[in-house]
Amino acid sequence: MDRDVVIVGGGPAGLAAAVECSRQGADVLVIDQNDLPGGQLFKQLHKFFGSKAHSAGIRGMDIGRTLLRECEENGVEVWLSSTVIGIYDSNLIAIVRETAAGKDFIRIRARKILLASGGTEKAISFPGWTLPGVMGAGCAQTMINVNRVLPGKRVLMVGSGNVGLIVGYQLMQAGADLAGIVEIAPKIGGYGVHAAKIRRAGVPFYLCHTVIAAGERDGEVCSALIGEVDAVTRKIIPGSEKLLDVDTICIAAGLRPLSKLARLMGLKHVFVPALGGWMPEHDGNMQSSNEDVFVAGDIAGVEEANTAMDEGRLAGIAMAHALGYMDDASFRKAGDEIRKRLESLRLGPFGKARFDAKSQFMGRC
């Protein structure tokens, strides 16, 4: 089976790319491992930042619905519960597709491939980190916002980046208590406005603190021992330990690009700490070191859904252009518009580090 474009990952980047690419006339297939499309969008019940062009002020789940509708209008095919198990020479993609009838093994050759497989949560290890009740913040978010199950009654959040802050807030909305937010750095990592929402609910921040161990009762978490760290050595200051009564510890230690497929394909990688670590190198059109392969979203450096969607759009038109569905002039014009928008998302104290990091290896974004 042959396709113009196969997009691996139906999150914000993948779906936005699919919409743009199919709009130009390309035949697009989106493959997603989950049984629901949208990636993280349908877990994101909060309103987005950004500008009007970025669906600012709209909740993630509603953005997801719009993208899916647009995919449908443009004839994009979306395969759910389908996993790419490998991509081989001549763009041969091996897929295991699960349907009501069972599992199928399908091989597809694509003229262009977009890897939009997202990011993966970083772990931290401490005594008890393998107990039930210790989980990634993303996992907790899936439980409350997709499965509608509360992971616990009293939660400690470890990490004060936007993920920790947003998930902490949503856990309270879902009915849990937030016992505190622990952050090893001397300042909060995420947006002040997210932190302020949490503080208004009376939740303490433990800055310069880390989790030392998880307590255990009947095989589950019953407490968290935290302690203050020396700002320089990051060692626990003796006597600073505090025992918190919690039944759940959420880890929001950041994300890194999920680039396994990219590495299997041998794409050139770069190490960019500001964007989560190793990631496939790409240019301003999201093209990787392999001319047939594009990357967008967290795999191309961990940022957020708005930048992911814009990167997806860039990749979408770049693939359409490469396949001859778009002329040079309109491609350049549309690309410049998106790049300008992307640039505006990478301004300010939070965006600048990401802007600089991206600029480092691709000239100007």
Partner 1 sequence: MMNDVADVVVIGGGMQGLSTAYFLLKKGRNVTVIERGDIANGTTSRSDGDIFVCDSTPGYFTKLQKAALDEIVALTHEIDDFDWMAKGCVILAENEEQVEIAKKQYQEKIADGIRCRFMDKHDVHEDEPNTAPDIPGGLEFPDGGSLNPMLFAYSLTRAIRQMGGKIRCFTTVTGIDVSPEGVLRGVRTDDGDILCSTAVIACGVWSREIGMMAGLDIPITPMKGDLLVLEPNVYITRRKTMDIGYSLLRHKKAGGADEKTFEEAHGIGFLIEPTNEKNALIGFSKYPADSTVSSLGVMQAMARRAIRFFPIIKDMNVIRAYAGVRPWTPDHEAIVSATDVQGLYVNAGHAGDGIKLGPISGKMMSQLICGEQTDFDLAPLRLDRFKEVRV
Partner 2 sequence: MDGTILQNGYPSLDELRQMGRFPSEERFRKGPVAVIECIQQIPCDPCEGACPFGAIHVGTPITNLPVLDENRCTGCGACISHCSGLAIFVVNKAYKPGMATVSFPHEYLPLPENGQIVDAVDRAGSFVCKAEVIRISNAPANDHTPVITIAVPLEAADDVRGMKRLGHEDSYAGEAERGIKAAEGDDVLVCRCEEISIGDIKKAISEGATTLTGVKRRTRAGMGLCQGRTCHQLIERMLQNASNVPVEPDTVRPPMVPVSMDVLGRSADDE
List residues binding partner 1 (CB under 8 A).
Answer: 86, 88, 92, 94, 105, 107, 264, 266
Gyration radius from the chain CA atoms: 21
With 0-12 / 13-18 / 19 or more C-beta atoms within 10 angstroms meaning exposed / middle / buried, residue 163 is: buried
Residue 149 binds which entry of partner 1, partner 2, none, CB below 5-8 Å type-dependent: none
- Grouping H, G, I as helix, E, B as strand and the rest as coil, residue 98 is strand
Query: Which of 57, 75, 132, 324 touches partner 2 (CB under 8 A)?
Result: 57
Nearest to 145 by CA among 118, 105, 176: 176
- Identify what 231 binds: partner 1, partner 2, none; CB under 5 to 8 Å per kind: none
Choices 36-44, 48-56, 63-71, 317-325 (CB under 8 A): range interacting with partner 2:
48-56
Residue 361 has which token pair? 């290896």
CB nearer partner 1, residue 105 or residue 271: 105
Among 203, 211, 314, 315, binds partner 2 (CB under 8 A): 203
* Shortest Cβ 92–partner 1 spacing (Å): 7
**Is residue 361 at the binding interface for partner 2, with CB under 8 A as the rule?**
no
Q: Assess 231 for contact with partner 2 (CB under 8 A).
A: no
Q: Verify binding: residue 90, partner 2, rule CB under 8 A.
A: no
> Applying CB under 8 A, does 223 fall inside the site for partner 2?
yes
**β-sheet with 242-244: strand ranges across:** 209-217, 220-228, 242-244
CB of 261 to partner 2, least distance (A): 7
Angle between helices 60-73 and 12-23 in degrees, nearest 10: 30
CA distance 163 to 143: 15
Can you tell me which of 31, 214, 252, 286 binds partner 2, judged by CB under 8 A?
A: 214
| Residue reference for tokens 């929001």 | 252
